[in-house]
Structure 1
Amino acid sequence: MLPTTFGNPLWFSDDELQELRGTTLYRATELQKKSLLSLYESKVKDIVKKLLTLDGNSEIEVCFEDFLWANSVFWSRALNIPMPHSYVFPEMQDAQDICDPEADEKRSQIEQSDNLTKEGTCNPMTGDTVWVEGLVPGIDFCNHDLKPIATWEVDGTGLASGVPFSMYLISAAQSPLQIDQEIYISYGNKGNEELLYLYGFVIDDNTDDYLMVHYPAEAINTISFSESKNQLLEVQKAELRCLLPKTSLDNGFFPLNTQNGEENNKSKADQVCNYSWSGQRKMPSYVNKLVFPEKFMTTLRTIAMQEDELFKVSSMLEELAGPERERQLSDTDVQSAVWEVCGDSGALQLLVDLLRVKMMDLEESSGTEENDLDLLKKALIIDSHEDSKQCLSNLSPKENDSEEPKLMTRNKWSAIVYRRGQKQLTRLFLKEAEHALQLSLNEEEFTFPC
């Protein structure tokens, strides 16, 4: 019943993995392989050998591929399950809990699940919830679909299923299910990066796709005034990376209309630091069209600061803290000072540079977005070497080589779909950033003329 191989990048051949070069997933896969190999060599290998010896099977040889298989079985099927804190950590529960004042009685209730369904006991799903990953037999065999015909729930009291903390499926279909009809559930609103990394599949033209942009932490130490900027970043609780959802483009300058129906742009004016010491720094006219998270923009403003801007920010903060530093500066204080002095142009220019570098990395090994689209149009997916030979024998020669179908494994097809989506999102967010940069420069020139 369990698969022997998987479609996530850990199981890609060397040639298939090369299709991911330049993407975030390529680097993540390399790091994960090294981490799992280290874990296997340092801990798992000896533990498994001892367990097999105790079980009388000392002659069985276990290798890293076996551990890789077990790891993939779990993470490709695990569900994120909400459970009450008292159930996950029963020994840590406070004995004075109002629902159950006696610690021994509470421990007994946890161990004897049937007591939890009796009248007079508190609902175990109330209070703190802990999310844990786990396998749920039956449900973990369900595949993902954008329009699932079933959902799953946790039965905290056991009233629905008869077993407390069990899980069960609820039909979401409008009509009765047919015999032999496959039951699909939703794994959540996940982009192709996460779907491929965890589950080994992608969705073409995935509306839940996203782009990750980050500023390398090691690069901060190479910029001018790195020590002072690091201090400011620390106070601001800076975020050096952000996720840019594809759906956020609907609220930008060039909407894609990926969402069903028109949604009002969520006002962002109250999310940015809009306090101005001088009164000259006005809220940008484009603020409600900016699709980039304010926390990340704050980080980029700080990194992009010039020497004179850093001096002005320091002066403002010293004035605010007082001569004896009687006031503790907050992250909002620092963010406000940085915004007052710097505005958006420096941050947006840095963001444009980051996105251009990302596009260069993506295109360096696999060409342009148009090249990927052409490959996908000609793709003929094969699942085995035998399929490859059969397809080749059935194909008729084409006069034009450009019309020849491209035989490829499903793993390679998934990699191309994913990287093409990353190139598309990089292009679209770069367009947004460049337009916002131009607007910012125009407004700052008008507000602060030379």
Structure 2
Amino acid sequence: MATQKETKLDLFLQWLQVNRVELRGCEIKYCDSNKGFGLFSTSTASDEVLLVVPLNLAITPMRVLDDPLMGPICRAKLKEGEVDDRFLIILFLILERLRSKSLWKPYLDMIPRSFGSPLWFTDSEFHELKGTTIYQATILQKKSLHDVFEDKVKDLVKQLLILDGEPESEVAFEDFLWANSVFWTRALNIPLPRTFVFPEECEKPNVSSAVNGVLNFVEAETLWVEGLVPGIDFCNHALKAAATWEVDSTGSATGVPFSMYLQSVNQGPPGIEKEVTISYGNKGNEELLYLYGFVIEDNPDDFLMVHYPADAVQSVPFSDSKTQLLQAQKAELRCLLPKHLLDRGFFPSLSSGSKKIDERASNKIPNYSWSGQRKIPSYVDKLVFPEEFLTSLRTIAMQENELFKVKSLLEELVGNEGERELSDDEVRAAVWEACGDAGAFQLLVDMLNTKLIDLEEGSGTEESDSELLNKTYVRDGPALPISADKEDSSVGEAISKNRWASIVYRRGQKQLARLFLREAEQALQLCLAEEC
């Protein structure tokens, strides 16, 4: 007798076939209770094209606006600015889930009923995140979602169901939470030809010129549209992807115009029965857990988020003047510190060892002192903290005499009659000329110390988290065993995958906070030594 999972999968495969989806070199199989369903390679792969999905099957805002039931109401609300594109897709998912005769049922039945993001955690699981950035962010997110549900979703869905002939019933917040999670875990940013998004324009080709009687057509404009693509959205994430997805507008790659296809990144067909994965991007565990509900041990793309609260600026001395300087410098109060920045710091042997270079995160040395009174520090090439963030901290930590010196320096540049506007680089240089780095580094040390204390309060140190993980195993399935000898449920303590993910995430945050704190302390010591 077929299991419930097998029955759902059979119905879904039939639904894909009816909708002209082609599984050319892969099949959909159940992985485990942690991953759910996934794509696996087969021996039938040809030309490295594994899967082809017609784009008219995608769930996009255009589909919602063209829906006979939802379209008129949603068009009016979109025109009035009451909803956005993402809201339309989430609304569509809720409605189709609650419709008794939805044509999308075989697809929706394949999607999990619950998710691994903190929005779905039990109280005890959520407590494991206390002290992390995710903890407070999730509290705020859940409140925001409740407000949106009460203000925009509940009555609108009830109205649409009644118009559809469904018996009147209550719409639960869990229905909205489910649809919201489906969107954020499965939606893709799809590059679509403008003619696909606005087919009414197809009869009016954009002609740029005529040379010798031959028309020259401007290349079709590409519009990026978020949406769900059934079939391709069953690809799970891996650091090293086995496949990528592409849009085939003309049919030259797949023979199917206006389609999305999955293509192997390997030379030749992939190995049989290997999972076909894609990359969700270089994301740290904070982003992976918050959006997708999973983490990666020893994630090379992990990062630490440090920020100085904007409202706290208002309580520092001379807050109005400092706020003006922050705005003039285009300063950042929030800073993401990727793990790989440690590779070029004072203690590279303690870093990830990835040797990854990120030009966007590399330090931009400011236009140092034009007066020559303050020399470029010897440690500047070893600093791992972005200049934009240090700019903010220098300004916030500035003393009264330093503030007056900045004002004097800037007045010299502008002139008595305010002859020209100052650039943000000039303001940064004046701030550095007046106060140097000591105040900024001391403030950064204090912030990182506070972050580490918050992370360790109630859950202990990084070492205690490692010890806890070594004594436990995940009870929800074999995909996330802590170690091979923990697969036997008679050994150690069983914990949920959500609790496991929380501990892995917070341990990584503690490690990064400790390492970046050490970098900040070293920078402060060198700065003070050079200023003596």
Q: Identify whether the pair has TM-score above 0.5, normalized to the shorter chain.
A: yes
| 2:402 aligned residue | 309
Preserved CA contact (<8 Å) 2:131 2:454: yes
TM-score calculated relative to the size of structure 1: 0.84
Moved more, 164-173 or 7-16: 164-173
Preserved CA contact (<8 Å) 2:207 2:216: no
TM-superposition CA deviations, 1:287-321 (whole Å, max 9, x none): 11111010000011000100000000001111111
Greater share of residues in strand: 2
TM-score calculated relative to the size of structure 2: 0.71
| 2:184 aligned residue | 75
| 2:530 aligned residue | 443
| 1:290 aligned residue | 383
| 1:116 aligned residue | none
Q: How many residues align?
A: 409
Q: Per-residue deviation at 1:395?
A: 6.3
TM-superposition CA deviations, 1:125-173 (whole Å, max 9, x none): 5xxx654322122111100011221111223444223455532111123
Aligned: 1:66 with 2:162 = no
Preserved CA contact (<8 Å) 2:244 2:264: yes
The answer for unaligned runs of 5 or more in structure 2 is 1-109, 478-485
TM-superposition CA deviations, 1:85-113 (whole Å, max 9, x none): 776579999x9966499xxxxxxxxxxxx
TM-superposition CA deviations, 1:318-355 (whole Å, max 9, x none): 11111111111221111110011111111111111110
Aligned: 1:258 with 2:367 = no
Corresponding letter in the other structure for 1:62: V
Matches within 5 A, 1:173-252: 173-174=266-267, 176-252=269-345
| 1:427 aligned residue | 514
Preserved CA contact (<8 Å) 1:239 1:295: yes
How far apart, in 2, do the equivalents of 1:414 and 1:311 lie?
A: 50
Corresponding letter in the other structure for 1:192: N
| 1:414 aligned residue | 501
Cα gap change, 1:274 to 1:395, in 2 (>3 Å): closer
| 1:56 aligned residue | 165
How far apart, in 1, do the equivalents of 2:234 and 2:489 lie?
A: 36
Which of 9, 17, 36 matches 2:145?
A: 36
Q: Per-residue deviation at 1:192?
A: 0.3
Corresponding letter in the other structure for 1:10: L
Using the aligned pairs only, state the percent identity. 64
Cα gap change, 1:99 to 1:203, in 2 (>3 Å): farther
Which of 151, 154, 165 matches 1:45?
A: 154
| 1:4 aligned residue | 113
Matches within 5 A, 1:143-182: 143-174=236-267, 176-182=269-275
Moved more, 372-381 or 180-189: 180-189
How far apart, in 2, do the equivalents of 1:265 and 1:43 lie?
A: 42
Corresponding letter in the other structure for 2:511: Q
Per the alignment, in what secondary structure is the counterpart of residue 418 of structure 1? helix
How far apart, in 1, do the equivalents of 2:251 and 2:389 lie?
A: 44
Corresponding letter in the other structure for 2:453: M
Aligned: 1:351 with 2:441 = no
Corresponding letter in the other structure for 1:426: A
Preserved CA contact (<8 Å) 2:472 2:493: yes
Q: Per-residue deviation at 1:261?
A: 6.0
Q: Per-residue deviation at 1:280?
A: 1.9
Per the alignment, in what secondary structure is the counterpart of residue 365 of structure 1? coil
How far apart, in 2, do the equivalents of 1:71 and 1:222 lie?
A: 37
Per the alignment, in what secondary structure is the counterpart of residue 473 of structure 2? strand
Cα gap change, 1:262 to 1:124, in 2 (>3 Å): closer
Matches within 5 A, 1:257-276: 258-260=352-354, 271-276=364-369
Preserved CA contact (<8 Å) 2:340 2:355: no
Per the alignment, in what secondary structure is the counterpart of residue 332 of structure 1? helix
Cα gap change, 1:194 to 1:299, in 2 (>3 Å): same
| 1:15 aligned residue | 124
Aligned: 1:330 with 2:417 = no
The answer for unaligned runs of 5 or more in structure 1 is 102-118, 385-391, 397-403, 446-450
RMSD: 2.9
Cα gap change, 1:25 to 1:268, in 2 (>3 Å): closer
Cα gap change, 1:132 to 1:213, in 2 (>3 Å): farther
How far apart, in 1, do the equivalents of 2:195 and 2:340 lie?
A: 38
Per the alignment, in what secondary structure is the counterpart of residue 186 of structure 2? coil
Cα gap change, 1:413 to 1:263, in 2 (>3 Å): closer
Preserved CA contact (<8 Å) 1:49 1:58: no
Preserved CA contact (<8 Å) 1:124 1:157: no
Which of 121, 124, 148 matches 2:220?
A: 124
Cα gap change, 1:131 to 1:293, in 2 (>3 Å): farther
| 1:376 aligned residue | 469
Q: Per-residue deviation at 1:259?
A: 4.7
TM-superposition CA deviations, 1:32-81 (whole Å, max 9, x none): 10111100000000110011001111333320001101111111111233
Cα gap change, 1:57 to 1:426, in 2 (>3 Å): same
How far apart, in 1, do the equivalents of 2:372 and 2:205 lie?
A: 55
Cα gap change, 1:268 to 1:66, in 2 (>3 Å): closer
Preserved CA contact (<8 Å) 2:206 2:218: no
How far apart, in 2, do the equivalents of 1:49 and 1:279 lie?
A: 70
How far apart, in 2, do the equivalents of 1:195 and 1:175 lie?
A: 31
